[in-house]
Amino acid sequence: MRADQKLRLAHAIDALGVDVLEAGFPIASEDDAEAVRRIAKAIERPVVAALARCRPGDIDRAAWALEPARRPRLHLFIATSDLHLSRKLHLSRAQCLDAAVDSVRRARVHTDDIEFSAEDATRSDRAFLYRVIEAVIDAGATTINLPDTVGYATPDDIADFFRDVLGHVANADRACFSAHCHDDLGLAVANTIAAVGAGARQVECTINGIGERAGNASLEEIVMISRVRPDRVPVETSINATRLYAASQLLTELTNEPVQANKAIVGRNAFAHEAGIHQDGILKDRRTYEIMRPADVGAPSTLLVLGKHSGRHAVHARCRDLGYTLSADEGDVIYRRLMAIAERKKIITNDDLLSLVHEAREDHRALEAVAHDAGYGFGV
């Protein structure tokens, strides 16, 4: 996204009520640095964070971008797994530890709000990871983020992992622990919820689940899980859920990356029902097939999709919505014709249905005229 697009999205994210808005990676480009600085100046309520590797140039550039922020956060990261250290960074464990501590100290010159991420944490040696976390907390880190960078973990893994870390790091009570889960195996949201259950109190997530490769944990799904199932996820967020759909739509517009139709919470079909049994249940009591209301997330009203799986009740209901009350005979005629069209066309539009209503009524009037000319009484 361009800087102006990022700023538009930042305002929408602010309106959602997020606690921390990570605005970008200033060292990546001049445009990214300028975008972070513009967001830092314009967004006043949430903490505004900028990302930086554990390198002096990164930290100083991020600090420059955050200068206008009322509540700035520097988010530092370095990999801690032996795979990343040896194959990507060409660093020893000792060098990694020194870089992490030195970077936190350098960042503290600019702000007291320091987040430290141990990249590839879930595949790191636990004993070494504990040492790094303890050292950066002592150096001044206030939030510790433990990413499942490649989406390798399962919910049981994540729960055990966070419990182990919180149980082995001596100064863990001096920092907020955060989960950052990727969706390579489709488990990002499940893993995030598991981390919360094991003690994480910050979650890193994205609108529509966008992110590297298969994406990150979906903000809207995490929020609504906590709203719909507080018995299993007894935590609260400050998110205004009624703005979720609008934020999703804005992101789609800015990136030209639509969400899949059956995406939970914000997908086009999230509150759409085509099967006749489901439609009948929804018409009688929406709770039969909906565990949340479209209005809860700011989405359009429940949609009864007309297609070859639809039932008569849905056809009558849609006609009433369009201003037509059908007799039983009219309903039967229209339903039969609709099913014939549905064999050739996946979705029946309102225009299709209106045409069928008009045709049925024209046929009825024609039949009445014939009966009248023949001297027979006729009516429906």
Residue 379 pLDDT level (bands cut at 50, 70, 90): very low
pLDDT at 16 over 60: yes
**Per CATH, which fold does 3-255 belong to?**
TIM Barrel (3.20.20)
The mean of the pLDDT values for the chain is 93
Long-range CB contact pairs, 169-175, < 8 A, 24+: 169/130, 169/133, 169/134, 169/137, 170/134, 171/134, 171/137, 171/138, 172/133, 172/137, 172/144, 174/137, 174/142, 175/137, 175/141, 175/142, 175/143, 175/144
Q: 3: buried, middle or exposed (CB in 10 Å: 19+, 13-18, 0-12)?
A: middle
**What confidence score (pLDDT) does residue 380 get?**
39
What tokens does 170 get?
């001596």
Residue 342 pLDDT level (bands cut at 50, 70, 90): confident
Sheet containing strand 202-204, strands side by side: 20-24, 47-53, 72-79, 114-119, 143-148, 176-181, 202-204
Q: How far is residue 145 from each of residues 168, 190, 218, measured CA to CA in Å?
A: 16, 17, 17
Q: How many CA atoms lie within 13 A of 234 on its CB side?
A: 2
**Amino acid identity, residue 374?**
A
pTM, rounded to two decimals: 0.87
**What confidence score (pLDDT) does residue 378 get?**
45
Q: Where in the chain is the domain with CATH 3.20.20.70?
A: 3-255
pLDDT at 232 over 70: yes
pLDDT at 199 over 60: yes
pLDDT at 155 over 70: yes
Cα(29)–Cα(165) distance, rounded to whole angstroms?
Answer: 35
Cα(49)–Cα(57) distance, rounded to whole angstroms?
Answer: 17
**What confidence score (pLDDT) does residue 83 get?**
98
What proportion of the chain, given as a percentage, has pLDDT over 70?
Answer: 96
